[in-house]
């Protein structure tokens, strides 16, 4: 009998020495978990986050709020998909030309909004699906997650429409000056008069600045609509699920930086360097 008791004590001690078992026992007490991780000398933020996630004992952190927040997020995604890239008020002072400029601005915003919506619903479906698989059979969490996962799968199908790729005018705005510059470099072509070269250079600068401005306005439009519509509902859903990181971020800032750098490079920097090389 004593041997059995000692075996049971040894097994219990071994379980407590297992960091994951200990973390699960401490689940719900953030201060105790932090103290235990300090004892383990886990200093990397990513490792601490990983172990804290593994310590959870339920697939939903706030099951009582999940259904309502899930439906609120679906409503927000539907509205964003419909209104997220329409109604630009840019270039009001350009007269009839404003319609062309607004179309280009909305084209950029469409690409960013549709891309973000498709990414969000795909990640939402995958997250729901993973937690559904983790939920115990006939548990309340399973009864919440399964229909939510069906909803998210339907959203993936509904939001499948194309985002028109990278806006075509951005691609054209990069390829046209690059092609012209490479042709000049290969043929050794130079302008006969300095003032012609100056006018061409100023025209390239104007086009590069104009396209960059259009990209910035489109990015601002998309970012504003995303922030107003889905940021808070998605944050609530991710908190209801718990221990799953942050909701997907939109790519507005990255897209704007990369596109503008490319525009400035191909319309201003590259032609200038080639012109100096040919002049020399």
- Show the 3-state SS of the chain: CHHHHHHHHHHHHHHHHCHHHHHHHCCCCHHHHHHHHHHCCCCCHHHHHHHHHHCCCCCCCCHHHHHHHHHHHHHHHHHHHHHCCCCCCCCHHHHHHHHHHHHHHHHHHHHHHHHHHHHHHHHHHHHHHHHHHHCCCCCHHHHHHHHHHHHHHHHHHHCCCCCCCCCHHHHHHHHHHHHHHHHHHHHCCCCCCHHHHHHHHHHHHHHHHHHHHHHHHHHHHHHHHHHHHCHHHHHHHHHHHCCCCCCCCCCHHHHHHHHHHHHHHHHHHHHHHHHHHHHC
Confidence grade of residue 7 (pLDDT, cut at 50, 70, 90): very low
Question: pTM of the predicted model, to two decimals?
Answer: 0.72
Distance between CA atoms of 85 and 10, rounded to whole angstroms?
63
Q: Residue 48 belongs to what domain range?
A: 13-57
Based on the domain organization, do 48 and 84 belong to the same domain?
no
Distance between CA atoms of 146 and 135, rounded to whole angstroms?
10
Distance between CA atoms of 266 and 170, rounded to whole angstroms?
11
Confidence grade of residue 276 (pLDDT, cut at 50, 70, 90): low
pLDDT computed for residue 265 by the predictor: 66
Segment 99-128 mean pLDDT: 92
End-to-end Cα distance, the chain: 97
Is residue 14 within 8 A of residue 33, CB to CB? The reply is no
Distance between CA atoms of 279 and 191, rounded to whole angstroms?
9
pLDDT computed for residue 214 by the predictor: 83
Q: Which residue has the higher pLDDT, 211 or 96?
A: 96
Based on the domain organization, do 73 and 143 belong to the same domain?
yes
Based on the domain organization, do 130 and 19 belong to the same domain?
no
| Residue 205 belongs to some domain of the structure | yes
Based on the domain organization, do 27 and 84 belong to the same domain?
no
| Residue 1 belongs to some domain of the structure | no
| Residue 156 belongs to some domain of the structure | yes
What is the residue whose two structure tokens read 């209801």?
Answer: 240
pLDDT computed for residue 231 by the predictor: 94
Based on the domain organization, do 43 and 144 belong to the same domain?
no
Confidence grade of residue 98 (pLDDT, cut at 50, 70, 90): confident
Based on the domain organization, do 219 and 144 belong to the same domain?
yes
| Residue 28 belongs to some domain of the structure | yes
What is the residue whose two structure tokens read 């971020």?
Answer: 249
| Residue 207 belongs to some domain of the structure | yes
Based on the domain organization, do 47 and 63 belong to the same domain?
no
The 10s digit of each residue's pLDDT in 218-231 is 889 999 999 999 99
Distance between CA atoms of 34 and 43, rounded to whole angstroms?
10
Phi, psi for 259 (deg, rounded to 5): -65, -45
Confidence grade of residue 143 (pLDDT, cut at 50, 70, 90): very high
Segment 249-269 mean pLDDT: 74
Q: Which residue has the higher pLDDT, 189 or 209?
A: 209
Based on the domain organization, do 40 and 103 belong to the same domain?
no
| Residue 91 belongs to some domain of the structure | yes
Based on the domain organization, do 252 and 190 belong to the same domain?
yes
Least confident span in 57-61, 115-119, 196-200: 196-200
pLDDT computed for residue 259 by the predictor: 72
243 pLDDT more than 60: yes
| Residue 4 belongs to some domain of the structure | no
Based on the domain organization, do 99 and 232 belong to the same domain?
yes
Distance between CA atoms of 109 and 98, rounded to whole angstroms?
16
Q: Which residue has the higher pLDDT, 254 or 22?
A: 254
Phi, psi for 148 (deg, rounded to 5): -65, -40
Structural domains in the chain (count): 2
The 10s digit of each residue's pLDDT in 50-80 is 777 776 778 999 999 999 999 999 999 999 9
Based on the domain organization, do 213 and 275 belong to the same domain?
yes
Q: Mention every residue, 6+ apart, whose C-beta is less than 8 A from residue 246.
A: 235, 238
Is residue 160 within 8 A of residue 121, CB to CB? The reply is no
Q: Give the mean pLDDT of the chain.
A: 77
Based on the domain organization, do 89 and 23 belong to the same domain?
no
| Residue 7 belongs to some domain of the structure | no
């Amino acid at each position: 009998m004593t041997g059995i008791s000692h075996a049971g004590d040894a097994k219990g001690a071994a379980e407590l020495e297992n960091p994951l078992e200990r973390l699960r026992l401490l689940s719900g007490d953030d201060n105790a978990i932090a103290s235990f991780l300090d004892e383990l000398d886990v200093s990397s933020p990513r490792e601490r986050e990983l172990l804290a996630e593994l310590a959870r004992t339920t697939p939903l952190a706030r099951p009582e709020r999940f259904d309502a927040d899930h439906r609120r997020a679906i409503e927000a995604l539907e509205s964003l998909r419909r209104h997220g890239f329409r109604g630009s008020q840019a270039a009001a002072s350009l007269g009839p030309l404003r319609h062309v400029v607004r179309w280009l601005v909305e084209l950029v915003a469409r690409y960013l909004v549709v891309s973000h919506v498709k990414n969000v619903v795909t990640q939402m479906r995958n997250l729901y699906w993973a937690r559904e698989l983790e939920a115990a059979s006939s548990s309340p969490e399973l009864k919440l997650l399964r229909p939510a996962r069906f909803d998210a799968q339907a959203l993936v199908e509904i939001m499948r429409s194309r985002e028109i790729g990278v806006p075509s005018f951005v691609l054209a705005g990069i390829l046209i000056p690059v092609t012209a510059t490479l042709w000049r470099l290969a043929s050794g072509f130079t302008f006969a008069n300095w003032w012609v070269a100056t006018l061409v250079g100023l025209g390239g600068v104007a086009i590069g600045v104009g396209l960059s401005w259009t990209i910035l306005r489109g990015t601002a439009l998309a970012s504003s609509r995303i922030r107003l519509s889905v940021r808070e509902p998605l944050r609530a859903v991710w908190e209801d699920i718990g221990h799953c990181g942050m909701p997907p971020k939109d790519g507005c800032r990255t897209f704007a930086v990369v596109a503008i750098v490319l525009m400035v490079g191909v319309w201003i920097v590259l032609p200038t360097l080639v012109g100096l090389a040919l002049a020399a």
